[in-house]
Amino acid sequence: MHEQIQNILLDRDGTVIEERHYLADPDGVQLIPGAGTALRALMDSGRRLFLVTNQSGIGRGYFSLAQYEAVQERLLQLLREEGVELTATVMCPHGPDDGCACRKPLPGLWQELRASHGLDPARTVMIGDKMADIRFARSAGLAAAALVLTGHGRHAAIDLGLPNQLAKAVALHPLTNPDHPDILAPDLDAVADLLLKT
């Protein structure tokens, strides 16, 4: 991360909000502790925030687009209460067998954001709780990928042979394994602390 990171791409479930299996009810939306203040600090530092989310529950028929939109509106309301405004949200509604180009880890959602907002991959980081988020960052050629240990993150860390409990964010050097993140952190708040120091 030689250039300052200006664009923060965020997974939704398990990264910004508590993981709920195929969340379809707005009443189930709950920010992960510290997420609101972390995003506010990043936004106040001049960085832009983008939500990048797979929502295969739509493609699988578990919930409708309208239900997704209601959940999304509740999330935006909670973020506004924290003084946070997202620049944009991009979403893949497809299932894993639908053959789309937009489901993470494929780079379709990145290409959409890059075209609409002129993002520079060298100044962009992806933060998520799954291997798909790390691989998405790699497929998009982003400056860095951060894995948080919230949501599915602990299981992902175990699968990667990485520590699954941390007190603060640590920078890794994933030269030997591209599936390893550049940053491993207990939560979004810890990633924000690290980014704000660079």
Superfamily of the domain at 7-196: HAD superfamily/HAD-like (3.40.50.1000)
107 pLDDT above the threshold of 80: yes
Span 43-99, pLDDT tens digits: 999 999 999 999 999 999 999 999 999 999 999 999 999 999 999 999 999 999 999
23 pLDDT more than 70: yes
Q: Per-residue pLDDT tens for 173-195?
A: 766 688 899 999 999 999 999 99
Residues with catalytic annotation?
Answer: 11, 13
- Which residues are bridge partners to 185 per DSSP? 148
Burial class (CB in 10 A: 0-12, 13-18, 19+), 106: middle
Residue 97 and residue 81: Cα distance in Å, rounded?
Answer: 37
Whole-structure pTM over 0.85, yes or no? yes
The CA–CA distances, whole Å, from 85 to 31, 40, 141, 143 equal 14, 8, 25, 23
Helices 65-81 and 35-44 pack at an angle, to 10 degrees, of: 70
The domain locations on the chain are: 7-196
43's enclosing H/E stretch is helix 35-44
